[in-house]
């Protein structure tokens, strides 16, 4: 490694631990997998190296599988698509590569490809980034996770997260009010997204969510349904107001929490 590339502060950050509060988990083949989300890795790269201190190149990305399959509860016709990607990160002349995979399932073939491509590129980027240190997920490759601490993220990290979440929540509330989503609609949307709070919505789908909140979709949500017309929450007469002024309070009432 080239001497003097990173400052003492950067070296301290790279040698530091990973906060357990930013570690997510999912089940795959009966096993629990721990990971950090792609947006978090990017934020940490920007925080430690600077917005202009690193870049990434997608060296290769290709489709390795495309299969017709049944999807959803109603077993509708759809597609399953898989991609692999190779991404190179360059930080001050130090280059690291990572290989990742992504999978997309959708009734629309184009959307299935889009999801798989994004997931593969993000997965490869995270694998390249983790070679720089624990803040990017390297700590999770240790079975005992000795470098994962219960301590919360630094105040700078918390401030960034709070600001990002606040901006997204404001945009989402404004959009929901504009299309007339009522209390039932709020509860239905949270059920579909499997979240209790708007800040729990993955950053990777936030922009798409805002774009998809149309007046037509609002009608289904207000009936307690998802985009396919499947019932996701009970519809109560008392929550059929055409619009809401306090979305947070409405969501709390509708979810009975």
pLDDT digits 0-9 by tens, 23-74 = 888 887 788 889 999 999 999 999 899 988 999 999 999 999 999 999 887 8
**pLDDT band, residue 244 (cuts 50/70/90):** very low
Share of the chain above pLDDT 90, in %: 44
Kindly report the average pLDDT of the chain as a whole number: 84
**pLDDT band, residue 245 (cuts 50/70/90):** very low
**Is beta strand 148-149 parallel, antiparallel or unpaired with respect to 18-19?**
parallel
| Phi, psi angle pair for 20, to nearest 5° | -65, -20
Asked if 16 and 137 count as a contact pair (C-beta separation under 8 A), the reply is no
Q: Which of 30-39, 108-117, 140-149 has the highest mean predicted lDDT (pLDDT)?
A: 108-117
How far from 125 is each of 57, 65, 87, 200, 228, CA to CA, in Å?
9, 21, 6, 22, 33
Evaluate if residue 150 carries a pLDDT over 70.
yes
Q: Where do the H-state alpha helices sit in 16-103?
A: 38-49
Q: Would you list the domain boundaries of the chain?
A: 8-153, 156-255
pLDDT attached to residue 19: 86
Which residues, 6 or more positions from 246, have their beta carbon under 8 angstroms from its beta carbon? none
pLDDT attached to residue 30: 82
pLDDT attached to residue 243: 42
Which residues, 6 or more positions from 175, have their beta carbon under 8 angstroms from its beta carbon? 210, 213
Residue with tokens 């509060």: 21
State the fold for domain 8-153.
Enolase-like; domain 1 (3.30.390)
**pLDDT band, residue 159 (cuts 50/70/90):** low
Which residues, 6 or more positions from 161, have their beta carbon under 8 angstroms from its beta carbon? 43, 153
pLDDT attached to residue 151: 56
How far from 216 is each of 19, 31, 72, 136, 180, CA to CA, in Å?
41, 39, 21, 40, 10
pLDDT attached to residue 250: 44
**pLDDT band, residue 145 (cuts 50/70/90):** confident
Q: Which of 85-94, 136-145, 166-175 has the highest mean predicted lDDT (pLDDT)?
A: 85-94
Evaluate if residue 155 carries a pLDDT over 70.
no
> Residue 122: which of 219, 51, 56 has the closest Cα?
56
d(CA 256, CA 16): 41
Evaluate if residue 204 carries a pLDDT over 50.
yes
Give the mean model confidence (pLDDT) for residues 92-116: 94
pLDDT attached to residue 242: 38
Evaluate if residue 206 carries a pLDDT over 90.
no
């Amino acid at each position: 490694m080239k001497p003097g590339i990173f400052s003492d502060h950067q070296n301290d950050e790279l040698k530091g631990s990973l906060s357990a509060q930013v570690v997510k988990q999912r089940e795959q083949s009966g096993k629990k997998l721990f990971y950090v989300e792609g947006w978090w890795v990017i934020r940490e790269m920007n925080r430690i190296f600077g917005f202009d201190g690193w870049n990434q190149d997608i060296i290769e990305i290709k489709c390795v599988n495309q299969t017709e399959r049944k999807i959803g509860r109603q077993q509708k016709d759809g597609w399953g698509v898989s991609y692999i990607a190779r991404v190179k990160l360059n930080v001050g002349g130090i280059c690291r590569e990572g290989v990742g995979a992504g999978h997309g399932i959708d009734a629309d073939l184009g959307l299935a490809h889009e999801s798989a491509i994004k997931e593969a590129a993000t997965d490869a980027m995270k694998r390249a980034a983790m070679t720089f240190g624990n803040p990017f997920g390297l700590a999770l490759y240790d079975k005992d996770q000795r470098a994962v601490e219960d301590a919360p993220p630094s105040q700078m990290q918390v401030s960034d997260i709070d600001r990002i979440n606040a901006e997204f929540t404001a945009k989402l509330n404004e959009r929901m009010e504009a299309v007339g989503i009522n209390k039932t609609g709020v509860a239905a949307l949270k059920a579909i997204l499997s979240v209790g709070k708007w800040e729990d919505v993955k950053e990777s789908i936030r922009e798409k969510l805002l774009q998809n909140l149309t007046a037509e979709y609002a009608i289904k949500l207000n009936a307690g349904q998802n985009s396919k017309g499947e019932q996701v929450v009970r519809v109560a007469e008392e929550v059929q107001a055409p619009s809401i002024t306090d979305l947070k309070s409405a969501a709390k009432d509708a979810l009975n929490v």
